[in-house]
């Protein structure tokens, strides 16, 4: 069904042409939260502490922040990230910026929510390496200074558990959004917010078909229910020289987590916001420059050989999607018991 929806969306967008596709939307100033995890200041404070705390990893050296640097691009600028014991992950770390607007998480959309996603790296043997979630909870329980913060966020009681840990981290991540880009101001009526080249790039982006996938306020596709990723085959038009040059087909995509042959080389459509901060690009971090990434996408997804002028215009438009980052302060973490990592 998800593949059918994706194909239908592309067909409709291409059939409708620029007028239909160009339903430009500004990013909201706040991110939506699920009914069972409303965003509160207390949860955000606790979530930020947990996000920055490497003690949730087996070696005490890797935190969420290690791979998703919110002091810059929300990622780590490596092709693939470094986890416990110096191990390399298999995919590029996607930016945490505006991830709250995705209908599913991870490159292959296998996690339905930010809460689900927050639990994954903790027990991944390459990433944070905890034996299970109970081990992570036990670690947090032994850090006595965390208890008042869990009480403030979730009420008194036996509240240090994996679900609350994930809810707090997700609440913090929902504050990591970047509205008020030049593009957003332009869409809201400030016709001076984008340069003439950026407006030209915006029109080119629409005309050649980029909006068939990268639509909506977050440029990651149409709004879908939580847990239903907007998927696209990559490359849609295989066989170009880019496939081998950038190893585009070595990773089977969503198939690796579902085993469903229809999911082979299917990927969740990523956001295009803040791309100037998130190089290198693609699921394997194989492309270093934004102009090259634009040319690769035009060829592999639209079967078009994009010239330098159009490429430069589209890049200029994409640069206009860089929004204002939220102010960041480093959290104060509770003290570590001397025997915590034994």
Task: Give the phi and the psi of residue 144 in degrees, each rounded to 5.
Answer: -60, -30
Cα separation, 75 vs 70, in Å, equals 7
The active-site residue out of 115, 127, 173, 319 is 127
Determine if residue 77 is labeled as part of a ligand binding site: no
Q: Which residues of 279-312 are buried (b: 16+ CB within 10 A; e: fewer)?
A: bbbbbbbbbeebebbbbbbbbbbbeeebeeebbb
Is 265 marked as binding a ligand? no
225 vs 215: CA distance, rounded Å: 16
Tell me if residue 82 falls in helix, strand or coil. strand
Give 144's DSSP letter. G
- Determine which helix (DSSP H) or strand (DSSP E) holds 267, and give its type and residue range: strand 266-268
Q: Is the peptide bond before 235 cis (omega within 30 degrees of 0)?
A: yes
How far apart CA 239 and CA 104 sit, in angstroms, is 29
Closest by Cα among 11, 301, 257 to 293: 301
- Residue 283 assigned ligand-binding role: no
Q: Is the dihedral of CA 79, 81, 85, 90 positive or negative?
A: negative
- What is the DSSP secondary-structure string of 324-340? PPPP--PPPPPPPPTTT
1 is in an annotated binding site: no
Which H helix or E strand runs over 169? Answer: helix 162-173
Among 29, 32, 9, CA closest to 21: 9
Q: How far is CA 271 from CA 97, 106, 342, in A?
A: 9, 12, 41
Residue 68 assigned ligand-binding role: yes
8 Å CB contact between 210 and 14: no
Residue 128 marked as a ligand binder: no
CA distances from 57 to 135, 168, 290, 307, 341 (A): 10, 17, 33, 47, 10
292 part of the active site? no
CA distance 218 to 295: 21
Give the residue numbers of the binding site. Answer: 64, 67-68, 210, 213-214, 297
Give the residue numbers of the binding site for heme c. Answer: 64, 67-68, 210, 213-214, 297
- Annotated catalytic residues are 127
């Amino acid at each position: 069904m998800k593949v059918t929806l994706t194909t239908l969306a592309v067909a409709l967008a291409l059939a409708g042409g620029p007028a239909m596709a160009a339903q430009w939307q500004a990013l909201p100033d706040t991110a939506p939260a699920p009914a069972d995890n409303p965003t509160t200041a207390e949860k955000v404070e606790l979530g930020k502490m947990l996000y920055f705390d490497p003690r949730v990893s087996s070696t005490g050296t890797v935190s969420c922040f290690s791979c998703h640097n919110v002091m810059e691009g929300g990622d780590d600028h490596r092709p693939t990230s470094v986890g416990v014991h110096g191990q390399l992950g298999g995919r590029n770390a996607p930016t945490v910026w505006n991830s709250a607007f995705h209908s599913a998480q991870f490159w292959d959309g296998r996690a339905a929510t930010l809460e689900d996603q927050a639990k994954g790296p903790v027990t991944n043997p390459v990433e944070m390496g905890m034996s299970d979630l109970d081990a992570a909870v036990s670690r947090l329980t032994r850090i006595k200074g965390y208890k008042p913060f869990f009480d403030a966020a979730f009420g008194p009681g036996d509240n240090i558990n994996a679900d609350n840990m994930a809810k707090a981290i997700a609440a913090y991540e929902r504050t990591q959004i970047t509205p008020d880009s030049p593009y957003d101001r332009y869409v809201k009526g400030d016709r001076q917010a984008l340069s003439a080249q950026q407006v030209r790039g915006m029109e080119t982006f629409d005309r050649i078909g980029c909006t068939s996938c990268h639509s909506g306020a977050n440029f990651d596709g149409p709004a879908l229910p939580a847990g239903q990723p907007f998927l696209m085959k990559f490359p849609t038009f295989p066989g170009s020289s880019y496939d081998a040059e950038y190893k585009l087909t070595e990773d089977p995509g969503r198939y690796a987590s579902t085993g469903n042959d229809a999911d082979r080389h299917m990927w969740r459509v990523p956001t295009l916001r803040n791309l100037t901060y998130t190089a290198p690009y693609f699921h394997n971090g194989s492309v270093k420059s934004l102009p090259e990434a634009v040319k690769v996408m035009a060829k592999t997804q639209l079967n078009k050989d994009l010239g330098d002028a159009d490429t430069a215009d589209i890049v200029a438009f994409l640069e206009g999607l860089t929004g204002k980052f939220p102010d960041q302060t480093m959290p104060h973490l509770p003290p570590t018991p001397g025997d915590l990592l034994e």
